[in-house]
């Protein structure tokens, strides 16, 4: 194992007028060089907060990363980095692509200038070198006629092209980790597939590790090596792509999988949707956070936090259904034998 990132006991709160929101609750995970890890879950489960914390992009305060937390990048704790070190860490070591390129790109600057800015700051290139490198980067992300396109403003490009520009900026300093936060949500389905293929291609070419943040398990089916399912600030199940798609054992993961459209879904068939809402993260959580929405909930689920069950060296989950004294509950029939890939 060649770990590039090791997150240990990460706890993040937001101090608001209404009280302390415990958004991330003691999560631990790692990432290997060249690996793609997907953080999956509904809005508000803590996945984006986790991703931003890795880059120290959360405004502190109101955010607070608790002192026991560790985010180790190649052994160096990001939480203890100086402002100067953070400046080079962001971009040169870890870079991020955001959901909506239109709001992330500066509308008053040409895309070429925006790529060149990163190159001048981080790679100390002069104007000519930075311009040549910007053209090369736009060609790398398959933007046709790159020499002309560097003169375009963001509004002159399509959504897919803008996202390619964002990827070019993110890759400009050859980061070891690329964090992609819902990179295809604002795009239509065909462009989504092209952007995911492009990320995959670049990952193989440069051995960049990727953390993919998404609410959509369908997006990760062809892409992730490992999947981490988050709920109410905790990791409730983690496993390889195969383990999550073919042998997941947590009712929340089943609900997420059930809501992915499949090739054999009939045209008039309604897609499954999970009822209820996640718990309020200001209030103290007792028992399993998913209990109010879980059709298998038992008395103990309301009282005690489920223990972690280890199913393999890569597959773990927190659910009382795994306890040896609880009668076995089969995976839903609708999830058996399906082909997602």
Residues near ligand SF4 (CB under 6 A) are: 250-251, 288, 290-291, 294, 296-298, 301, 306, 319-321
- Least spacing, CB of residue 331 vs ligand SF4, in Å: 13
3-state per-residue secondary structure call for 142-204: CCCCHHHHCCCCHHHCCHHHHHHHHHHHHHCCCCCEEEEECCCCCCCHHHHHHHHHHHHHHHH
Q: How far is CA 16 from CA 19, 50, 234, 289, in A?
A: 5, 18, 20, 21
Q: How far apart are CA 229 and CA 201, in angstroms?
A: 25
- Least spacing, CB of residue 281 vs ligand SF4, in Å: 17
- Least spacing, CB of residue 66 vs ligand SF4, in Å: 25
**Angle at CA of residue 90, ends 133 and 233, nearest 5°:** 135
Alpha carbons within 13 A on the beta-carbon side of 157: 29
**178 forms bridges with which residues in the sheet?**
95, 210
- Least spacing, CB of residue 317 vs ligand SF4, in Å: 9
C-beta closer to ligand SF4: residue 274 or 298: 298
Q: How far apart are CA 267 and CA 310, in angstroms?
A: 39
C-beta closer to ligand SF4: residue 33 or 293: 293
- Least spacing, CB of residue 40 vs ligand SF4, in Å: 16
- Least spacing, CB of residue 218 vs ligand SF4, in Å: 22
C-beta closer to ligand SF4: residue 98 or 320: 320
C-beta closer to ligand SF4: residue 198 or 321: 321
**Eight-class DSSP state of 75:** T
C-beta closer to ligand SF4: residue 327 or 337: 327
C-beta closer to ligand SF4: residue 240 or 292: 292
Q: How far apart are CA 299 and CA 212, in angstroms?
A: 35
C-beta closer to ligand SF4: residue 42 or 129: 42
- Least spacing, CB of residue 321 vs ligand SF4, in Å: 5
| DSSP string for residues in 304-337 | SPPPEEESSSS-EEE-GGGSTTSPP-PPPGGGTT
């Amino acid at each position: 194992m060649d770990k590039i990132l090791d997150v240990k006991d990460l706890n993040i709160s937001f101090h608001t007028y209404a009280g302390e929101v415990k958004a991330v609750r003691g999560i631990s995970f790692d990432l290997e060089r060249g690996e793609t890890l997907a953080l999956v879950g509904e809005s508000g489960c803590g996945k984006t907060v986790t991703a931003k914390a890795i880059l120290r992009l959360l405004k502190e305060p109101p955010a607070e990363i608790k002192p026991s937390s560790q985010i180790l990048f190649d052994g160096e704790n990001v939480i203890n980095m100086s402002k100067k070190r953070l400046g080079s860490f962001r971009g040169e070591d870890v870079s991020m692509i955001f959901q909506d390129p239109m709001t992330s790109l500066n509308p008053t600057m040409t895309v070429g200038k925006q790529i060149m800015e990163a190159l001048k700051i981080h790679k100390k290139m002069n104007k000519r070198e930075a311009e040549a490198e910007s053209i090369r980067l736009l060609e790398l992300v398959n933007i046709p006629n790159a020499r002309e396109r560097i003169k375009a403003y963001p509004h002159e490009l399509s959504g897919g092209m803008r996202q390619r520009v964002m990827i070019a900026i993110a890759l400009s300093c050859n980061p070891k980790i690329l964090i992609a936060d819902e990179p295809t949500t604002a795009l239509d389905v065909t462009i989504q597939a092209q952007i995911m293929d492009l990320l995959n291609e670049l990952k193989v070419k440069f051995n960049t590790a990727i953390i993919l943040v998404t609410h959509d398990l369908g997006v990760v089916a062809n892409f992730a090596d490992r999947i981490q399912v988050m709920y109410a600030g905790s990791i409730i199940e983690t496993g390889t792509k195969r383990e999550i798609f073919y042998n997941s054992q947590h009712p929340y993961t089943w609900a997420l999988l059930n809501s992915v459209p499949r090739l054999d879904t009939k045209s008039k068939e309604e897609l499954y949707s999970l009822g209820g809402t996640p718990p309020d993260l200001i209030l103290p959580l007792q028992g399993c956070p998913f209990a109010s929405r879980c059709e298998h909930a038992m008395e103990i689920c309301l009282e005690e936090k489920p223990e972690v069950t280890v199913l393999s060296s890569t597959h773990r989950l927190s659910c009382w259904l795994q306890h040896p004294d609880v009668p076995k509950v089969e995976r839903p029939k609708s999830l058996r034998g399906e082909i997602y890939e």
